[in-house]
Chain A
């Protein structure tokens, strides 16, 4: 489907009711206030730091709240090489994030092992350990490249369906017409 259609400024100039879907509102809110997880491992971490500071300023996208604990984060940006010693730690931290959660593999090392692909200790890509949503190539990717990845992730978040789908017509007909109360409640009341 793609990008969201935002309400226009004219719509707010008179008393108004905006109708939308719950999915739209939740997705819009979630995609514009992502809390990234500071998972900088190597050189890409320095570019991630640079993107948080004055010149590049990731706060423009609402993502300046880098939290050091995975329990408070939505997005894990794996910036750097993952090796066999680090992989169990990575998996554990990913499992500690609460859903919905996303992973960005930043840099060549996190995507596929990078310049160290034939090392005896290097995991060729973080997607061998956790599921990845966006891959950002580069060694290291410039902060602008990181931002492009973050914007792609915003599009992906906006396509996420949070509200369970209503059952299709055929399934609805198959449901029982009335719901019988449980026997205990009938006795107690």
Chain B
């Protein structure tokens, strides 16, 4: 039939332990969030490498990207990647911190093609720049919109409201 789901059913703790072992330095703070998500942190510099290895992992290949969310935690930005493993039928929630002064991050479009529009939306809403993205421009807002609205310090300005 083709794509099978859950061919390698593993317990959540086993998955977390396996990830912590295989990605010892790169993934930190690996914990389980019931029922089927592993949450982990990844350093900004290691993102591209970790993404490739996560996708190509022989037992728990995280082959599909569900979404990329940008979050404005007050001290820094976070780029949250939510990926899915068909083999184990589980999710991984990867948090990458990005400093506000230099909000740049490597793109994962070449690893997970689905990241294209999600990263454009994070750029549009929060201003996180994804280096290497093929076409990083605004997606939801008009082209000449000023500012990034989902930032906590965004103030609505008259130039964004020509039709007020």
Q: Interface on A for B, CB 8 Å cutoff? A: 84-85, 87, 120-121, 123-124, 128-129
Contacts and interface: CB of A to CB of B under 8 A. Distances in A.
B163 A120 contact: no
A106 to B, nearest CB: 19
B160 interface: yes
A85 B141 contact: yes
Contacts of A120: 149, 154, 156, 160
Interface string B126-164: 000000000000000110010001000010100011111
Nearest to A86: B142
B164 A85 contact: no
Prevailing SS type, chain A contact patch: loop
Contact of A87 (B145, B149, B156, B163): B163
Among A121, A123, A129, max chain B CB count under 10 A is at A121
Contacts, number: 25
Contacts of B154: 120
A84 B163 contact: yes
A124 B162 CA distance: 12
Contact of B141 (A121, A123, A124, A129): A121
Among A87, A120, A129, max chain B CB count under 10 A is at A120
Contact of B160 (A84, A124, A129): A84
Given A85-B142, A121-B141, A129 B163 contact: yes
Contacts of B163: 84, 87, 123, 128-129
Nearest to B150: A120
Contacts of A128: 163-164
B162 to A, nearest CB: 7
B164 to A, nearest CB: 7
20 contacts: A84-B142, A84-B145, A84-B160, A84-B161, A84-B162, A85-B141, A85-B142, A87-B163, A120-B149, A120-B156, A121-B141, A121-B145, A121-B149, A121-B160, A123-B161, A123-B163, A123-B164, A128-B163, A128-B164, A129-B163
A123 B163 CA distance: 6
A17 to B, nearest CB: 53
A85 B164 CA distance: 13
B164 A124 contact: yes
Interface string B70-98: 00000000000000000000000000000
Contacts of B149: 120-121
Contacts of B142: 84-85
Contacts of B161: 84, 123
A159 B116 CA distance: 55
Contacts of B145: 84, 121
A33 B163 CA distance: 33
